Structures are given as C-alpha cells and as structure tokens.
Structure 1
Amino acid sequence: MAWNPSDIPDQSGRTFVITGANGGIGKQTTRALAGKGGTVIMACRNTDAAQRVADRIDGDVRVSALDLADLASIRDFADRTGEIDVLINNAGLMYVPFSRTEDGFETQWGVNHLGHFALTGLLLDRLRDRVVTLSSIAHNQISKLRTDDLNYEHRKYQRNPAYSQAKLSNLMFARELQRRLTESGSSKRSYAVHPGVSATDLFARTETPLDKVSKPFIALVGHSPAKAAESSLFAATMPDADPAVYWGPTWLFGSRGPVRPAPSSTLSKDREVWRRLWEESERLTDVTYKF
C-alpha cells in the first residue's frame, strides 16, 4: 500500500522551518504539517505574500523573513530562530537567466544550494531531529560536477545545466551531511527527496516564451503540488524513514506517483565529490559545521 498524508502522525509540539513556503510545494507542505498540529515557520523572501498564505491556513503558522540570495539575511534569520525539530530546504529557482546573488554567487546554485547549505549549518545546533533537502530528477542531467568552477567564473552560463548542477549539489549535500552526522555519533538525520514534476510557478519564471505554455504541459505529465509535497512530508514526519534512501515518485521517469525509494545517478553517489563540494561550500559561505 502506498504511503499518503493521512499516515502522518500527530505533530503537536514539533516546530518546522520551511523555506519558500509561500507557494507551490512549500505551501502544501505548510498546510499539511499545520493541519497535523505542527508549528510551521514560513521562511520567505516576500513576507507580505507569505502572510497572505499563512492567514488562509488553519493552525500555528508564522512568517519570518529569509532571503537565500543574501548571506546576511540567512545569518539574521538564524539569529532570530530558536530550537526547531525539522528544517525543510524547499525553496528554489529554476532555469532563470544569468545573475548573481548579493554575495556574488551564480543565482541558481547560490540560492538552491549555497543558501540552504549556510542556513542548515547555522541552525544545526538548534535542530532536534532532521533536515529534508529537495533535489530533483534533473540532478541526473549532467555527467560531471565542476567543483573547480561551481560559480561559473570560467565557463559559459547555460541555465539548464546550471539548474541540474544546483539540484545535484542538493542531493550530494544531503548525503554528505548524513555521512558526517553518522560519523559524529549524532542522532540527527538528513534526507534527500525529490518531488517529481509539478506545475508550480517555477515553470513561469524563466523569462522566456516558455513561461506561457510550460505550466499547462507540465500539468499533463506531472502531478499536483499537493502530491508533489508528499516526498517532503514523508521524510519530515515518518519516524522510521531511512535517511540512506533517496525518496520520491518513480512513475513516468520519476515525474509522478507515490513516494518510494527513487533511483539517482552514479555521479550523485561519488563520496569524493561530496567532500569537495562540501569544502568549497564552506569556503564560499564561511559557514563551518560543528557536529
């Protein structure tokens, strides 16, 4: 029998931080966790939009400002945040034109990976249970992670490979974090999940003609944001979920379906690349993890 959100145990007394919670998968994840009694902190750049969403969700839902494209904002958010049970690294950008973050990072990699890397490290001492990081089936669309040029300083920017690099980095980060937690003897856990394909606003922000047609097409092959949120919900709430497993849908090449152990690329399992990515992420963000 497939897992479904009705299987989520009562979350009363547990606090969740969800990045990018004001739309799409993040909004659905917020609604489900609040509905099970959890306290949810919506960590969002646009706090006005987030508050409008929060006001329409029953339960203990709070909004806190966080801009993952700005390390100063990430540090400020961490300083304002007390103990939490679960961090869900959900926010993301996809296929956007070339730009750089406030700190000079290529934006897709800077927001999707480096922002979450810094946030997780800064909150780790206040985290009681687990981290859930959203990757993507797009992680398998590149055959090499250029750890010598992750920030696109010496190569031509291509938006699709840049997105794949960011989502591969998410997957490798989650796995390396779990390896380091286990090595340190910590009971905390790190999960990598993917949501499949869903017609969220990610498909309407590429600033190309595809913005007008991609969402209807994606709706045909993918599944709803509520279904896409199930991978995050499973990993965030199920006590016996295995952190060694990459959780997500497997139907139609991973586009849709129930939450199951999902395949990942050979490259994503390369522990030496995990290490190099981790070291470069620490260097660029100046965030050093303390286990």
Structure 2
Amino acid sequence: MNGWTSANIPDQTGRTFVVTGANSGLGAETAKALVGVGANVILACRNTAKADAVASKLGPNATVAQLDLADLASVRSFASSFTGADVLINNAGLMAVPLRRTADGFEMQIGTNHLGHFALTALLLPKITDRVVTVSSGVHQIGNIQLDDLNWEKRRYRRWQAYGDSKMANLMFGLELAKRLAEAGSSKESFIAHPGYAATELQGRSENFMDVLAKLSNKLPIAQSAADGALPQLYAATMSGLPSGTYYGPTKFFGLHGAPGRNKYKKAADDADFRAALWAESEKLTGEKFDVSGS
C-alpha cells in the first residue's frame, strides 16, 4: 500500500486509548498497532474471553474491561470504574443482523452502533483528554434516519437500511460532537473514520444467503485486510493537526481501499437542525444528558 501506514503512527508512549470491540477485526488490529507504538490500550469488549486472548498476545500494555454496548447498565458500569484516557475509539458494531432488541429495547443496530456509543461518550468525555474517534461506514450513504421511529417499531424492518441509519447516526454524532466541543471552547476534538471494505467478522452475521456472498466477497481483491481497514481510525486517533469534525477513510477505488485520507460524506449529515434533533432524541432514549461545557 502506498501512502500512510501503521509504520507512520507517531510514538504513543505514555498515552492511553480505549477501543470498543477490540476482541476481533478492526478493533483488535487497532489495539495491536497502538500497543506497537508504546500506547496503553483498554480493550472494552462484550466478549472478554476473546479479548483476553487478544490482550495476552499484546503484552502488559493491553488490559481488558467488560463492556456490552447493547446494555446501558453495562455502559454505566464500565464508566463508573473508568479512571481516564487520552483517546476514545468508538469502534464496535453490528452489521445487517436480523431484528433483535437490546437490553433496553432498542433496535439492535441503532442501539449498539449509535446509542450505546453515544451514552458511553457522554459518560467518559470528562475523563478523555484529547479526542474521540467514531467509526462510521461508507454505507452511511443509504442512511435515512426516521427520528419518529428510530427503533423500527412502526416500520417493516429492513436490516441493511437499519445498518445504514446507524452508520449515518455515527457520522452525525461525530460531526455534532466536534461542533459542540468547539462552541464550548474545549480543546478536545472529534473525528469520524470508516474502513472501506475490510474482510472482518463483521460480515456473515445476517443469518441468510448474504452470509455466503460476504464470505466470497471477502476473498476478492477489492477487500482489504482488517489491518489495512483499521488504518483510517488509527490515522484519526493519532495524527496531530487534523481539523476537528473531519471524516477519514481509504482514498482509492471510491473509498473502498487504499491509504487513509480525508473523505467526503453524504451532505445530509451537515443538516445542523437534524443533527441537534438526533442528539436530543439520543439523550432522551439513553437517559444520559450530554454536557460538553465542562469538557
């Protein structure tokens, strides 16, 4: 790969990162790369057995903490014992799963990918010193969020639309957080990243014929490795001088693979009124008042 790679990550000795969903795929590769440049990494995962296996290979700079983003009680428990970090990477996610509900009754994809991370960031932000990176997806382009039915209680469920909506919510959240931090005069920053097409365990969870297609497409040249797919979030998490509120992803073949760089996104995400409404609805649903003024 030409361009920025993990070899270009600046030294991170003495810095601490929280990576959600670091037990496999992009999260595990992100943790591996960060530990490799001296960082301390908290692997915040639902499946702690898998996370322990990853951490054991990374050494003493990697620690594991239980976090189930599909359960707000777990999010609050994690936050209550959290002592601080430089960077939070909101990486964990589900893609195109059948209709299921979180412990709090949210549709599983919006509940895990967006609402769980929204609540987590709200609770952790006072103890994050540098930045938040939220992982979206190129599939945000199909996002068409319905604020009056965020949890798919009125409409016929469509798993890919629900995924696209959750990834648009991730993008809008990252943009709105950057705006609010700047307006509050905070030095903290917010970035958004996406992996392009990366062959990970995220694919193959649809429990239908799409799983077969996913396994086949993961073998095509268009698919990046998980390590390459992690580069945009590593770039956003470690590089200095980036404008807060910017979106990073692969720079080749329509953003599907290649070295990371600044990407364009669906312009609907710039609707400030809609972003504010989504923020308010997220506060209402999670019960977490998100105050950036003290950040």
**Shorter-normalised TM-score: what interval?**
over 0.9
Give, as a single letter, the amino acid of the residue that structure 2 aligns with 1:162.
A
Aligned residue in 2 for 1:266: 267
What is residue 214 of structure 2 aligned with on the other side? 214
Distance 1:148-1:173 versus aligned 2 partners, 3 A rule:
same
Query: Does residue 117 in structure 1 map to residue 112 in structure 2?
Result: no
Structure 1 range deviating more: 201-210 or 189-198? 201-210
Q: Is the Cα contact below 8 Å between 1:112 and 1:166 reproduced in 2?
A: yes
Asked if residue 158 in structure 1 is aligned to residue 153 in structure 2, the reply is: no
After TM superposition, list the pairs within 5 Å mapping 1:85-164 onto structure 2: 85-142=86-143, 144-164=144-164
Q: Secondary structure at the match of 2:132?
A: strand
Deviation at 1:244, TM superposition (A): 3.1
Which amino acid in structure 1 is aligned with residue 197 of structure 2? V
TM-score by length of 2: 0.96
> What CA distance in whole angstroms lies between the structure 2 residues aligned with 1:133 and 1:270?
19
Number of residue pairs the alignment of both structures matches: 290
CA distance in 2 between partners of 1:30 and 1:244 (Å): 23
CA distance in 2 between counterparts of 1:243 and 1:259 reads: 16
Within the alignment, does 1:55 sit opposite 2:90 as a pair? no
What CA deviation, in whole Å up to 9, does each residue of 1:99-154 have, x standing for no partner? 11000000000000000000000001101000000000000013x32111111121
- Structure 2: distance between partners of 1:194 and 1:33: 18
Q: Post-superposition shift, 1:8?
A: 1.1
Tell me the equivalent position of 1:12.
13
Q: Which residue of 2 aligns with 1:65?
A: 66
Matched, 1:167 2:171: no
Letter in structure 2 aligned against 1:128? T
- Is the Cα contact below 8 Å between 1:198 and 1:219 reproduced in 2? no
Give the Cα–Cα distance (whole angstroms) in 2 for the partners of residues 26 and 63 of structure 1.
13
Matched ranges for 1:164-243 at <5 A: 164-220=164-220, 221-243=222-244
- Is the contact made by 2:175 and 2:246 (CA closer than 8 Å) also made in structure 1? no
Determine whether 1:280 maps to 2:281.
Answer: yes
Unaligned runs of 5+ in 2: none
Give how far 1:9 is off. 1.2
Judge conservation of contact 2:6–2:231 (CA < 8 Å) in 1.
yes
Preserved contact between residue 200 and residue 215 of structure 1 (Cα < 8 Å): no
CA distance, structure 2, for counterparts of residue 170 and residue 244 of structure 1: 12
Rounded to whole Å, the distance in 1 between the matches of 2:248 and 2:60 is 27
Query: Where in structure 1 do 4 or more consecutive aligned residues deviate above 3 Å?
Result: none
- Partner residue, 1:33: 34
CA distance in 1, matches of 2:79, 2:61: 20
* TM-score normalised per structure 1: 0.97
Distance 2:245 2:126 in 1: 22
Letter in 1 for 2:64: V
Contact 2:26 2:229 in 1 (8 A): yes
How far is the alpha carbon of 1:59 from its aligned partner?
4.8
Identity across matched positions, percent: 49
* Corresponding letter in the other structure for 1:287: E
C-alpha deviation, 1:39, in angstroms: 0.4
Q: For residues 129 and 58 of structure 1, what CA distance do their matches in structure 2 show?
A: 24
Which stretch of structure 1 is more off in the superposition, 21-30 or 6-15?
6-15
Indicate the residue corresponding to 1:84 in structure 2: 85
* Uncovered stretches (5+) of structure 1, i.e. residues with no partner: none
Tell me how far apart the structure 1 counterparts of residues 58 and 223 of structure 2 sit (CA, whole Å).
Answer: 25
Q: CA deviation at 1:212?
A: 3.2
